[in-house]
Structure 1
Amino acid sequence: MEATACADEYEHIVPSVMYTISNIPGPGIDLKEFESEYSLGCSCTVRCTDCSCTRGSPNYIDDCILDEKLSDPIIECNSHCTCKERCGNRLVQNGPVDSLVVSKIDGKGHGLFTSKSIKKGQFICEYAGEVVGIEEARRRVEANKNTMNYVLVVSEHIGDRVIVTCIDPKHFGNIGRYSNHSCEPNTNLVPVRVEGPVPRLCLFASRDIKIGEEITFDYAGGVVNSVHNLSHTPCLCGSNNCFGYLPHNTI
């Protein structure tokens, strides 16, 4: 059975963490910029395959991301678009799969697993939390040196620009915060923009995932062709090609 999308009705097993289904602004973030939304949408009437949102070619086919889109900025259709809800370019906004389970792992704390099979390219969930500025992210990473560090830093290279997004789900986050690092992950981390310019960091299956498998991604930012800068924290992923230490994002 394949996992299906659902409204995000998950809860935390850790009572000290507040559940948020989407990103919230934190220190170092311009609130006006964070809350800004796209004011225009496409003028499609049925399906969106070649419009201002997809920019020439579809992002998804049968609710699965296309491989060639993994390294491109993805924009989904929004409330200003004239297309229908099933236009084919509305996926992340429909919520995570309904099969995610948080379980304890000896020596690693908790991990995220699936109770249903997930096909390659399928959207699994966001890694949502508190969006913070670079200086605040730097401070939190330093403060968490001897504890679990949840801060995820993703750098997007768009033309001659580098857009850096820092998300910390330690105290405010969604189900994605339980996904662990692997040097051979089964998901890709992809920035997807829905409402406006601040991206959602989304996990898509990089291969077919079997029932009971752990959902993992690359903490090195997860994006295609990311470079490993290793920290001093031992990696416990157990993969055959493990680098030995967790990746470290220079910020």
Structure 2
Amino acid sequence: MYTGGIHRPYPGQPNATTTDVNEGSSVRSQWTLALAVMGSVLLIGATVLFWRHEDPSSNPPTVALPGPWEPPTAGPDASAPVLDVPPAPGSAGAASPRPEPTETADDEEAPPRTTSPTRPPTTRPTTRPPAPNLSLGANTDADGSTKADGTSFNDVRDGSLSTFWSPTASTGTVSVKWPGTIRLSRIIIKEPAGTPRIRAWRVKDHDANTILATGTGAGEITFTPTTLRKISFEILTSNGTPRVAEFETFAQ
């Protein structure tokens, strides 16, 4: 209804001017709210960035995960704390775990250690083993140059020191002989108990008439091994009448 040139809305009809004003205010309010929200977001983001830069504790902790060993990098960031995570087993730089002592049951004892028996050292005898006296053979005989009363040539090969041969003078020869050849390398002349009387002597191969050894005093006499049938002991000088209790012969 129109009155006096002024448009008045009908009852119940919205006022166009009021509606436009309300719509404009609503739009401005929405933009203001949006700008406020955006500003708040920017302010909060800037604040967070500022505090992250200033406060090292705001940075997330770095966790060292176990893995293959890698050489350390120079200049680690001091602001970033690193958690002390034990290195992976077997990685370099990790201390080898000390082996735990193994416990054995009381009824399980370690087997006794066996040792091989040691062989005693073999030592050679320092003394020459006894060799057979060839003068005592059954087919052996004895003779000589002369013999004093009560003595015998075979007394030098009877194995007794209480019997002996003695020449009629201060010199003389006594021999031991065999029916066949025999090889000799040493003899032993033994005097009966008492003061030794034999001084200089010589040993001969009777058949070959060769001298095998010379010397003084009774005892062991060695010479080059010789094959012979008869061996003679000649007394060249003596103290009084010499005496020979045993004329022993040996192959070695």
TM-score by length of 1: 0.24
Larger helix percent: 2
Larger strand percent: 1
Higher relative contact order (CA 8 A, sep 6+): 1
